[in-house]
């Protein structure tokens, strides 16, 4: 039996377009931080998996694929610790992503060992870009999940097409 999904309302960024532009600008601000575009997309995918955001899981998996990412790496993001496909720097970014996305899950939300490993691979500017990227994808996830946006709908919208150059991996 097919489950018909329907959003509760238009995406808040469509209701308040200035918010859409602000989020696009925030994402663009991270591009010159020294974190590779693919790493930022892996971060986007992992946070979206944790938050159960089907729109973003769908979008960032597709963006990674379009950028030439392998199926093995895309499929393994949810189990990155047990998969051999990721670099140490990507692992550090994914660990930081999980910690920042799950702030309330532990007494010390971002333990020193996670921070120190990220700092070993990324300088201060790259860490800033990484943290902003993680915060930004969490905002998108919360907007989409709260309003029950449907995967695939936004990707085909005029707004998504207009923002494609600034919201794709091939930055």
Mean pLDDT calculated for residue range 94-117? 97
For the residues of 70-121, what is the DSSP string, one character each?
A: -HHHHHHGGGGGG-TTS-HHHHHHHHHHHHHHTGGGSSSSS-HHHHHHHHHH
Q: Give the global pTM.
A: 0.89
CB 28 within 8 A of CB 62: no
Instruction: Decide yes or no: CATH 1.20.1290.10 for domain 34-150.
Output: yes
Averaged pLDDT of the chain: 91
Per the CB < 8 A criterion, the answer to whether 39 and 96 are in contact is no
Distance of CA 162 to the CA centre of its chain: 19
pLDDT of residue 4: 76
Dihedral sign, Cα of residue 11, residue 14, residue 15, residue 19: positive
Domain boundaries, the chain: 34-150
Cα 18 to Cα 22: distance, rounded to the nearest angstrom: 6
When pLDDT is cut at 50, 70 and 90, the band that residue 162 belongs to is low
**Does residue 89 register a pLDDT over 70?**
yes
Residue appearing with tokens 């895309």? 74
């Amino acid at each position: 039996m097919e489950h018909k999904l329907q959003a509760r309302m238009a995406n808040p960024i469509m209701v308040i377009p200035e918010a859409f532009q602000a989020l696009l600008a925030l994402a663009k601000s991270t591009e010159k931080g020294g974190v590779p575009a693919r790493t930022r997309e892996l971060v986007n995918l992992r946070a979206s998996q944790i938050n159960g955001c089907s729109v973003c899981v769908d979008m960032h998996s597709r963006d990674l694929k379009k950028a030439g990412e392998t199926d093995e790496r895309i499929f393994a993001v949810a189990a990155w610790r047990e998969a051999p496909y990721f670099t140490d720097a990507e692992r550090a970014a994914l660990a930081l992503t999980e910690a920042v996305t799950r702030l309330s899950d532990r007494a010390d939300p971002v333990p020193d060992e996670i921070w120190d490993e990220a700092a070993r691979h990324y300088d201060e500017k790259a860490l800033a870009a990484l943290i902003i990227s993680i915060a930004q994808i969490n905002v998108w996830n919360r907007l989409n999940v709260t309003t029950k946006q449907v995967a695939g709908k936004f990707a085909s919208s005029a707004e998504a097409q207009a923002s494609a150059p600034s919201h794709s991996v091939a930055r």
